[in-house]
């Protein structure tokens, strides 16, 4: 499955267009390698997402074409989530 579609279906990012933009800016790594929106993801991949001051690391557990909101979190396991402290420079 394409990376941008996985992010939308899993609800890690709500819109596919936003997922594409984040990926194409180089803020997503799959297994430690920079990924584009068209990159293929598969079960077992470890994905690192950086958006805003937040970094999320997940492992892909399941891939489905569509899912309900309640079942979306079953598609991945959250490994870590960190928030960088705000500084005066990025405050506004």
The H or E element spanning position 15 is none
pLDDT of residue 85: 80
pLDDT of residue 31: 95
pLDDT of residue 47: 96
Ordered domains of the chain (ranges, CATH): 3-83 (3.10.290.10)
Taking only the tens of pLDDT, the chain with its 92 residues reads 999 999 999 999 999 999 999 999 999 999 999 999 999 999 999 999 998 889 999 999 999 999 998 899 999 999 999 998 876 555 54
pTM of this prediction?
A: 0.84
**Using alpha carbons only, how large is the chain's radius of gyration in Å?**
13
């Amino acid at each position: 499955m394409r990376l941008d579609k996985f992010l939308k279906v899993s609800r890690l990012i709500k819109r596919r267009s936003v997922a594409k933009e984040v990926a194409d800016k180089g803020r997503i790594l799959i297994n430690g390698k920079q990924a584009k929106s068209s990159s293929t993801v598969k079960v077992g991949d470890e994905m690192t997402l950086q958006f805003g001051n937040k970094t999320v690391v997940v492992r892909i557990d399941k891939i489905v074409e569509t899912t309900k909101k309640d079942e979306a979190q079953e598609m991945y396991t959250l490994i870590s989530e960190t928030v960088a402290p705000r500084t005066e420079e990025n405050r506004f």
